[in-house]
Every structure is written in structure tokens, then in C-alpha cells.
Amino acid sequence: MPKNDPRTLVSTEWLETQLNDPDIRILDASWFLPTSGRDPKAEFATGHIPGARFFDIDEIADLRSSLPHMVPPVEKFMSRVREMGVGDGHQVVVYDTSGIFSAPRVWWLFKLMGHKDVAVLDGGLPKWKSENRPITTEPAVIRDRHMFVTFQKEMVKDVTQVSHASKLQDYAIIDARSAERFRGEVEEPREGMRSGHIPNARNVPFSSLLNADQTMKSPEETKAIFEAAGVDLNKPAITSCGSGITAAILILAMERFGKTDHALYDGSWTEWGAFPTVPIATGEA
């Protein structure tokens, strides 16, 4: 049983006891790779946790960018969450249909916007369903509430900042992709990407932090995994992945073992791998 922390990770058991709390807001943040052929919004309509609202990662984003689901402008984030009835004083719980995959991205996005009371559902919808907890197709009743945003700019990095960090080695750069992708042994899922990793990065595949049932391993276990990968936890961290989704899983794990000086490289490999002037490393770190 995970220790319930309303600022990082909560259990299915805990959430079921909170379903009637008027200050709980549940968000389905399911997202799939474009090649999956799956429609998370359509799946949400066929059944979700009672009271949940769908958070569209690809739409609540900076659509002016050529990169996918980049951090949205503050005003857009505020208006979208208000439309979902999420605001100040709410405890937000985010889940996804994979277990722990895309929900941490939305957890991180709320943290980036200065909202502290937000947690990921450990094991997500698969665990919830496996325990025969309630599912509904009914839409949530929306009551408008304002959210005050304080943007935490130190929590997000761009390609220039990551390039400097790679050269100076003053940050621990951690890549959440699979070992094969990190080493540059396989083609990237997005066309036109070079293969490999950011020089001086270390590899902690996000899947290594999860149990077989897609719950997160204990803080002690995940810390040991970071250390075994050669991550210098005395340095501030920058996490990266394919497109800024699973990099947030690494941040969630670090928060749980007490490391709070971290940032996410929003463009991640989708940007770095297509950027002609930045160097690429291959093989082991």
C-alpha cells in the first residue's frame, strides 16, 4: 500500500473514500503515442472514475509551437481548468488509462502553475478497474471556480538551457526513454529524428520505476535506481524523454524521495533530435 501523499501519489483505496468530497477534482489525463490509433477522449466517454473530467494534453498546450503539447500560455491553462471547474482550494487527483504514463505530465503542469495540492493516482485506471471500483459514463457537474496561477519558471527548461547544462555538467540530465532509444540502437517513433541522447545525460527508463501492476516503486527503491544509473543527486536535475510526457514520471519519483530541485526539458527529444546544431551521443552514458 503506497503512503498517501496528496501532493505526489495517492492510492485507489484512498481516492474511493474521497469521491464525495466537494473539494476533490479528478482528471483523466490519458494520452497515447500518435501511432497507437487510440482516442483517449472517446475512451473516457465509454467509462471513467465518477466525477472525472477529461484533460486534453494535446489541446491544453501551446498550439503556436511546432512541437507537441508544449506548456500552454498561463491564460490558456487558467481558462481551460476553470471550464473544468478546477480552482483554488481543490485537491486535484490525476490518472490515466495506462497506469502511470501521462498523468504525471499533468501533475507536473499543475505544479508548474503553482498549484500544490495535486497528486497522481497510483496504478491509474487499470488498478481501479481491477479492484472493481465504480466506473460511470455520466459527465461531471461543473461548478466554475477561479484558479490563481504563479508560474514556476525554474521548473521548465528550453533547448538553449539544456545545451548549456550538457556542456557545463552543472545539472544531472536524466533521460526517461528506453535503454535502446537512449543508446541510439533503434529508430525514433517520430519521423525525422536522429537517434541517441543528449551528451552527458544518464538513462533512467521510466518503466524501471514501476511495478508490474503499474504502481510506482517505493521512494527507497526509486532513489536506488537513479543512483545505480549514475545520476548525481547532489546536482539539480533536468529530465527529458521523447516529447515531455514520461520525463514527468522521473520528477514524480524524485519528489517522493525528497529531491525537489528539478526541471523538465519541455521539447525533449522531439526538439533535440531534430535540432541540427546540437550534438548527439550514442552508446552507454
Angle at which helices 103-112 and 247-256 pack, to 10 degrees?
70
Could you report the per-residue pLDDT of 127-161, keeping only the tens digit for each? 999 999 999 999 998 988 889 999 999 999 999 99
pLDDT at 100 over 70: yes
Q: How confident is the model at residue 191 (pLDDT cuts 50, 70, 90)?
A: confident
Q: ∠ CA 257-161-223 to the nearest 5 degrees?
A: 15
- Picking from 157, 134, 136, the residue whose alpha carbon sits closest to that of residue 264 is 157
Whether this model's pTM surpasses 0.95: yes
Could you report the per-residue pLDDT of 58-94, keeping only the tens digit for each? 999 999 999 999 999 999 999 999 999 999 999 999 9
In whole angstroms, give the CA distance from residue 149 to residue 196: 36
Q: How many CA atoms lie within 13 A of 59 on its CB side?
A: 10
Q: Distances in Å between the alpha carbon of 216 and those of 41, 44, 71, 120, 226? A: 25, 23, 25, 10, 14
State the average pLDDT over residues 164-182: 97
State the average pLDDT over residues 48-65: 97
**E runs forming strands in the chain:** 9-10, 24-28, 53-54, 91-95, 118-121, 156-157, 172-175, 202-203, 237-240, 262-265
pLDDT at 176 over 50: yes
pLDDT at 1 over 50: no
In whole angstroms, give the CA distance from residue 203 to residue 23: 38
Q: Please give the pLDDT value at position 192.
A: 78
Domains of the chain: 9-151 (3.40.250.10), 154-272 (3.40.250.10)
Q: Please give the pLDDT value at position 145.
A: 85
State the average pLDDT over residues 1-6: 72
DSSP state of 90: P
Q: How confident is the model at residue 275 (pLDDT cuts 50, 70, 90)?
A: confident
State the average pLDDT over residues 22-47: 94
Q: How confident is the model at residue 187 (pLDDT cuts 50, 70, 90)?
A: confident
In whole angstroms, give the CA distance from residue 39 to residue 58: 12
Which cell numbers hold the place of 283? 552508446
> Which residues belong to the active site?
241
Q: Distances in Å between the alpha carbon of 194 and those of 120, 267, 280? A: 32, 14, 8
Could you report the per-residue pLDDT of 210-229, keeping only the tens digit for each? 999 999 999 999 999 999 99
State the average pLDDT over residues 189-210: 93
- Picking from 141, 139, 135, the residue whose alpha carbon sits closest to that of residue 47 is 135
In whole angstroms, give the CA distance from residue 282 to residue 20: 51
Q: Please give the pLDDT value at position 98.
A: 97
- Picking from 250, 256, 258, 246, the residue whose alpha carbon sits closest to that of residue 6 is 256
Q: Indicate the SS3 state at residue 9.
A: strand
Average pLDDT of the chain?
A: 95
In whole angstroms, give the CA distance from residue 190 to residue 271: 11
Q: Which residue has the higher pLDDT, 113 or 275?
A: 113
The C-alpha R_g of the chain, in whole angstroms, comes to: 18
Q: How many angstroms separate the first and last alpha carbons of the chain?
A: 34
Q: To the nearest whole percent, how much of the chain has pLDDT over 70?
A: 99
* Lowest-confidence region among 91-95, 96-100, 139-143, 263-267: 139-143
